[in-house]
Amino acid sequence: MQFNNVLMIIDMQNDFCMPDGALYIPGAEKDLQRTAGFIRENGDYINHIILTQDNHQVVDISHPSFWKDKQGNHPEPSTRITAEDIEKEVWIPEFEVSRAKEYIRNLEKEGEFPHTIWPEHCIQGSRGAAIADIIMVRIIEWARKGKHYDLIVKGTNPLTEHFGALRANIPDKKNPETQLNTDLLNTLRKFNNIFIAGEARSHCVANTVKQLLEFRDIANKIILLQDCMSDIPGMEHIADPIYSKAKNAGVTFSKSRDINLKIK
């Protein structure tokens, strides 16, 4: 089989894409429709699809219940927690204290996104963690033609965020699920074109792109479907440096309706 085109769909799950989702991203419903339309229009020429799925424990380092202040109050969603906050006991880890402190220090040292508290979301086994129906229906129809898709589960380790598809923000040497996913990387290398859609543009899509840019043979294969992703409100510009670097590295920015794989 000659591999040419792979579609990578990042975290198009109910909690991100549905208005009643725990971490709903405005505009995501239309992103779903356009992504499903892209599969419908180009399915014969999409050789493979990769889905990523955010999956979390209830007690997770990015959830409110992991932290408290001196009065025992949990932080509100969108609260940012720094190493200095922890040292001053503005916020105190309730679990795995030494590892949590080390994690925040490493996050800042490595220049990763600031540690942010999110609502409990994409809990393992929950409806919120499920891939949105409109995407799964379309993929199942596509797969009936004898094709296969991969499901990459990420975020299960409760002591590190896992925005990007390739690895956790801070990998843990003792936990393989947080380390570089070499199988995924090798799969992507088989294709000439890597189309990317998903949520959120500002976070998990951006960090997936950031991680892919670490591999020079990948960057100029990437085509971002800009109308198939949306930002978390108030954080629209957090990933601007990543996308600026991506443009300089040869990443293509396009819209789904402008792609016709039949004539490529």
Query: Which tens digit of pLDDT belongs to each residue from 112-147?
Result: 999 999 999 999 999 999 999 999 999 999 999 999
Cα of 74 vs its chain's centroid, Å: 25
Q: Is the pLDDT of residue 263 over 60?
A: no
Which pLDDT value is given to residue 260?
Answer: 81
pTM of the predicted structure, to 2 decimals: 0.95
**Cα gap 38→29, rounded to integer Å:** 14
- Please name the helix (run of DSSP H) or strand (run of DSSP E) that holds residue 232, with its range, or none: none
Question: Which residue segments constitute the domains of the chain, with CATH numbers given?
Answer: 5-57+121-263 (3.40.50.850), 64-109 (no CATH)
**Farthest CA pair distance, the chain:** 63
DSSP states of 218-233: HHTTEEEEGGG--PPT
Question: Does residue 262 register a pLDDT over 80?
Answer: no
Model confidence at 186, pLDDT cuts 50, 70, 90, reads very high
Task: Note the pLDDT of residue 189.
Answer: 94
- How many CB atoms neighbour CB 244 within 10 A? 10
Q: Are 229 and 201 in contact (CB under 8 A)?
A: yes
Please state the rounded mean pLDDT for residues 214-222. Answer: 93
Confidence band (pLDDT; 50, 70, 90) for 159? very high
Q: Is 64 helix (H, G, I), strand (E, B) or coil?
A: helix
Task: Place 2 in a pLDDT band, splitting at 50, 70 and 90.
Answer: low
pLDDT at 40 over 60: yes
Q: Report residue 1's pLDDT band, with 50, 70 and 90 as the boundaries.
A: very low
Angle between helices 28-42 and 133-143 (to 10 degrees): 10
